[in-house]
A and B are shown apart, each in its own frame.
Chain A
């Protein structure tokens, strides 16, 4: 299983965290904006292979997370890296899966621009983020996936969903991918 998530911004979402337990997920694709060392440590303990790309609001993750005696996992001992790659490609079976934060896609989230990026990366599947909104669709034989925000961070986009009081809302989401 491959876990794909992004736009975290804040540390965690309890309802999701209890679903994500070590030993089930083989690889994590994190689409940037990983702004908390504690989340980095959580993800590092969740799967043996954590792949990061750079977001547009990454802050220095070089400060180690404070020890938490109540943590479900070991206290963080890893040196937290700052991702520098804007995009990466992983291969599962015959599928090439590309992933990027999405802030380099202009206009942001534009299907034609995403298709161009997928062709440039020579991938079958392109995962992107940056909009905090889940999307999945097929176009020109390629598959496009935006996992949304795993913590329910609110989109800055002008077409963001609004509640009855006009406040922006976001449905927390992530995706698991199983390739066979």
Chain B
């Protein structure tokens, strides 16, 4: 079946308050 790969981009702050872009991957198969 078709597969959708979702790339999630989130702007998170570390302990020093510096913003970093975190990327996570989630997959869905129909």
Contacts and interface: CB of A to CB of B under 8 A. Distances in A.
B21 A19 contact: yes
A173 B4 contact: no
Interface residues of B, number: 17
Contacts, number: 64
Contact of A134 (B1, B3, B8, B21): B8
A176 B2 contact: no
Question: Chain B: interface secondary structure?
Answer: strand
Contact of B10 (A93, A125, A134, A179): A134
A172 B8 contact: no
Given A16-B21, A93-B2, A124 B30 contact: yes
B19 to A, nearest CB: 6
Contacts of B9: 16, 19, 173-176
Nearest to B11: A172
A152 B4 contact: no
Interface in A146-180: 148, 152, 171-180
15 contacts: A93-B2, A124-B2, A125-B4, A134-B8, A136-B8, A136-B26, A145-B6, A171-B10, A172-B10, A172-B11, A173-B10, A174-B9, A175-B7, A177-B7, A180-B5
Interface of B: 1-12, 19, 21, 26, 28, 30
Give 10 nearest A-B pairs by CB, closest first: A143-B28, A172-B11, A176-B7, A94-B2, A173-B10, A178-B5, A93-B2, A95-B2, A179-B4, A136-B26
